[in-house]
Amino acid sequence: MGELLEWIYPSGLYCLRCNKPIDRRQPYSLCPDCVKQINWANSGVCPRCGRLLDRYAGKEFCHDCAAGEKPFLAGAVCTGYGRVEREWLHSFKYRNQAWLKEPLGQLLAERIAAEKWPLNCVVPVPLHPSRQRSRSYNQAALLSAVVARRLELPHFPDALLRIKKTEAMSRLSAVERRSCLTGAFGINPLRGTCLQHKAVLLIDDIYTTGSTMSECTKVLLGCGASAVYVAAFAAAADIRSESI
């Protein structure tokens, strides 16, 4: 039966990004063109947050991390966040292509496993309930579920709560983001004890300035987590955040 289903609904025959037919032996079901176009964050990354460094700046840390300490211990991301990655993640986030959680989550889990962090559990960055209703799912929680399953860690999708609805932040500067996120997150009182003395892996789909991850990290540490590591599928380019 398995073989028959595979014949009727072949897996891995189409590129995950551009839908071109591919040789199913391609890793992660991406065609060679897409593999080349995607800006993988494998080397030349910020040792604190994991984003690709501005190679012309010649700095050890990205602009955001150089501007101030982050409360999380370390971060990792799979890719940059240019036109190609934005289009790809846009389908996952807004076009109801929830199935993309599996391949994207697998890539992210393998990226995290390479860091060998001593992790105890996985928590996603939450969406405000009204936004989750309009979008039908929280893409960060879909990713974190796949990551937790693949890394064989407990998953607490409802540990963090978004208690304040914030504006879409893509046009705000880092300073504006920080002030608008203050008090935006809280801990679910039913979950507080699960996180005590635990090293938490915090997952989001996109890392921009690190303000969201930092605010969530502070809440997790405040309720007794021993350390927080962060990971996102993609991270915005390393540029001076005030100009974003």
Q: Which residues bind Zn ion (CB under 5 A)?
A: 15, 17-18, 31, 34, 46, 48-49, 62, 65
Q: Closer to Zn ion by CB, 30 or 127: give it.
A: 30
31 and 12 Cβ atoms separated by less than 8 Å: no
**Greatest distance between any 2 Cα atoms in the chain:** 57
Q: Closer to Zn ion by CB, 138 or 214: give it.
A: 214
Name the minimum Å distance from CB 5 to Zn ion. 24
Name the minimum Å distance from CB 113 to Zn ion. 21
Name the minimum Å distance from CB 151 to Zn ion. 23
Nearest CA-CA partner of 239 in 148, 168, 173, 153: 173
Q: In what order do the strands lie in the sheet with 199-207?
A: 74-80, 227-235, 199-207, 121-124
Name the minimum Å distance from CB 35 to Zn ion. 8
In the chain, where does DSSP find H-type helix? 2-8, 32-37, 63-67, 83-94, 101-113, 129-135, 139-151, 174-181, 211-222
Q: Closer to Zn ion by CB, 48 or 93: give it.
A: 48
CA distance 150 to 21: 27
Q: Closer to Zn ion by CB, 49 or 195: give it.
A: 49
